[in-house]
Amino acid sequence: MPLTLDDKLVVAISSRALFDFEEENRVFEHGNDAAYVELQRRRLDIPAAPGVAFSLVRKLLAFNTAEHQRVEVVVLSRNDPVSGMRVFRSCQAHGLASIQRGVFTQGRDPFRYLRPLGAHLFLSANGADVREALLLGYPAARVLTESAQAADSNPLEVRIAFDGDAVLFSDEAERVYQAQGLEAFQQHETDKAALPLPEGPFKPLLAALHRLQQAGSTGMRIRTALVTARSAPAHERAIRTLMDWDIAVDEAMFLGGLPKGEFLREFEPDFFFDDQTGHVASAARHVPAGHVSSGIANLQGPTGG
């Protein structure tokens, strides 16, 4: 039978999301492609420091055993092949030798390779690539490379936090809020409490994580949290939607508009996903965070709400 990734959780990640290539990237942004490649060539034997999503990747790979390879991480990067060689050497140096697949496009759009990979998640520092991936139907987030690093206090848990509307769920309710305000939003969600919300762009990732958790134990576990600006009575529809999907989250925070950053600091996720730039910025001061450019808030521009 041909080799397939169909039975695995597949994470596609850019080199800047996995490793700290910010100094090298500044050279690239100054428009000197040749100088960038030469810098990476000179540093081939210098492992890059861990980046924002490093902890998430390392812990997910810990679900693999010699008998069962349940997670596949593929580097999907606009980098050139020389820089790709440094990425793989950095993986080896940091104990990520199981990362063996990569696509390096030398500046061309990399997101088109998400389809043959069957990716459940795409993490990149390039906002345009993330938007295109979301349009293609893949869970994707723009990594804030200035985010805080993940805590080291939960070595046997992958902790992931999700916003609700326009991330796990569709932006149906958010559209009501944007057009008519909080009172109309609360009434809308109360009236439709028994009607599950349509799925959002990150529901497939949540489902894949649920399957990974159910597949068997390697000593690792997954802990998820819903961290939302919703509050009672709008909480009920969110909970009922998860029940309808037959997927449970470990924690749910209905914050009613309070800043999410300090709550996330206590949860200590390896990554947090949100569609609102204000929430992502608040979170990034404490934890690794990514912006999901989906939903009406991103059509209208950042609101920070």
- CATH for 111: 3.40.50.1000
Q: CA 274 → CA 29, 46, 165, 287, 294, distances in Å?
A: 27, 34, 9, 13, 9
Q: Do 176 and 293 sit in the same domain of this protein?
A: yes
Domain final residue, candidates 143, 176, 203: 143
Looking at the structure, do residues 210 and 291 belong to the same domain, yes or no?
Answer: yes
Residue 163: active-site member: yes
Residues sharing a CB contact under 8 Å with residue 244, sequence separation 6 or more, in sequence order: 196
Say which residues have a Cβ less than 8 Å from residue 39's Cβ, sequence separation at least 6.
24, 27
Q: pLDDT 10s digit of each residue in the chain, 305 long? A: 678 888 899 999 999 999 999 999 888 888 778 888 899 999 999 999 999 999 999 999 999 998 889 999 999 999 999 999 999 999 999 999 999 999 999 989 999 999 999 999 999 999 999 999 999 999 999 999 999 999 999 999 999 999 999 999 999 998 998 899 989 999 999 999 999 999 999 999 999 999 999 887 678 999 999 999 999 999 999 999 999 999 999 999 999 999 999 999 999 999 999 999 999 999 999 999 999 999 998 985 443 33
Q: Tell me whether residue 225 is in a domain.
A: yes
In a domain, 3, yes or no: no
Residue 138 one-letter amino acid: Y
pTM of the shown model: 0.93
Assigned domain for 262 exists: yes
> Which residue range is the domain that position 247 belongs to?
157-299
> Are residue 190 and residue 111 in the same domain, yes or no?
no
- Using the 3D structure, point to which of 99, 114, 143 is the last residue of a domain: 143
Active-site residue identified among 163, 171, 270, 275? 163
Q: Among 92, 116, 143, which residue terminates a domain?
A: 143
Pair 166, 190 in one domain: yes
Same-domain check for residues 84 and 200: no
